[in-house]
């Protein structure tokens, strides 16, 4: 697991804090309490964050304008801060036009820490943070995922035995067996995402210390 170095200059990436994942088409029929909570924490972070700290936003270009829009809790804040936005067409931020350029511009400004939040933990946050870590592994920058700012479907937090986990990952079926209740060593998709990110060199924290970066 990677060890966090002393924090110098900081930047932030917030991934897909959009209407679709809470009230739009993506969220229909899904329990998304953890995503709602993460969006609220993203809102509080932006409200307290020093305007001097650079923030990059990503946005899935859904066809439906309501789905594509940033969530109502943060939309005005994002507009007031005039944060740059890149369209992300898949789970990897580095395939979004302008994302790599933004990170390299941060390196030129001697930013050495980039904190990542948004949704979902098991998909875009996982894939994007790992891709960033790999792409910039020879540069003096560390990528930190703040889990308190990240969310996934509630079903992704349920710990399961190995067989039920494999069934869920393959088909999305959420059946749990007796082992899922009585066995030790259970794991969840979020646990697996954290393990994957950590193994790839991403620093994963339950909550980043923002105290020295707030106004």
Task: Write a three-state SS string for 17-55.
Answer: CEHHHCCCHHHCCCCCHHHHHHHHHHHHHHHHECCCCCE
* pLDDT > 90? residue 161: no
For residues 148-164, average pLDDT: 91
Is residue 179 over pLDDT 90?
A: no
Tell me what pLDDT residue 31 has. Answer: 82
Taking the C-alpha atoms of residue 211 and residue 45, their distance in angstroms, rounded to an integer, is 10
**Model pLDDT, residue 146:** 98
The CATH T-level fold of domain 9-155+190-207 is Rossmann fold (3.40.50)
Q: What is the pLDDT of residue 92?
A: 97
Domain segments of the chain: what residues? 9-155+190-207
Q: How confident is the model at residue 1, as a pLDDT?
A: 47
60-92 pLDDT tens trace: 999 988 889 999 889 899 999 999 999 999 999
pLDDT higher than threshold 80 for residue 25: no
What pLDDT was estimated at residue 123? Answer: 94
pLDDT of residue 6: 61
Q: What is the pLDDT of residue 8?
A: 76
Token digits of residue 34: 């953890």
Q: What is the DSSP string of 41-107?
A: HHHHHHHHB-TTS-EEEEE---SSHHHHSBPHHHHHHHHHHT--EEE--SS-GGGSTTHHHHHHHHH
Q: What percent of the chain has pLDDT over 70?
A: 95
CB 143 within 8 A of CB 112: no
Q: Say what the pLDDT of residue 212 is.
A: 84
Provide the pLDDT confidence category of residue 5 given band limits of 50, 70 and 90.
low
Highest mean pLDDT pick, 16-20, 71-75, 128-132, 161-165: 128-132
Global model pTM greater than 0.85: yes
pLDDT in tens, 120-148: 999 999 999 999 999 999 999 999 999 99
Q: Minimal CA–CA distance to 141: which of 101, 188, 89, 104?
A: 104
Q: How far apart are CA 20 and CA 27, in angstroms?
A: 6
Three-class SS state of 158: coil
Cα→Cα distances 5→102, 113, 114, 136, 201, Å:
22, 9, 12, 16, 12
């Amino acid at each position: 697991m990677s060890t966090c170095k002393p924090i110098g200059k900081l930047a932030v990436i917030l991934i897909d804090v959009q209407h679709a994942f809470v009230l739009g088409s993506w969220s229909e029929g899904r329990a998304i309490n953890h995503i709602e909570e993460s969006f609220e924490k993203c809102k509080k972070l932006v409200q307290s964050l020093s305007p001097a700290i650079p923030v990059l936003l990503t946005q899935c270009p859904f066809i439906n304008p309501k789905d594509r829009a940033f969530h109502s809790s943060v939309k005005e804040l994002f507009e007031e801060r005039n944060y740059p936005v890149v369209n992300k067409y898949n789970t990897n931020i580095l395939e979004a036009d302008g994302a790599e350029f933004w990170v390299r511009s941060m390196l030129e400004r001697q930013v050495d820490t980039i904190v990542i939040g948004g949704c979902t933990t098991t998909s875009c946050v996982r894939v994007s943070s790992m891709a960033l870590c790999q792409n910039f592994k020879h540069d003096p920058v560390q990528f930190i995922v703040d889990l308190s700012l990240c969310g996934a479907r509630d079903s992704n937090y349920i710990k399961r035995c190995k067989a039920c986990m494999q069934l869920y990952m393959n088909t999305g079926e959420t059946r749990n067996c007796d082992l899922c209740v009585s066995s030790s060593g259970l794991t969840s998709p979020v646990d697996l995402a954290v393990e994957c990110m950590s193994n790839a060199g991403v620093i994963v924290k339950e909550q980043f210390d923002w105290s020295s970066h707030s106004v």
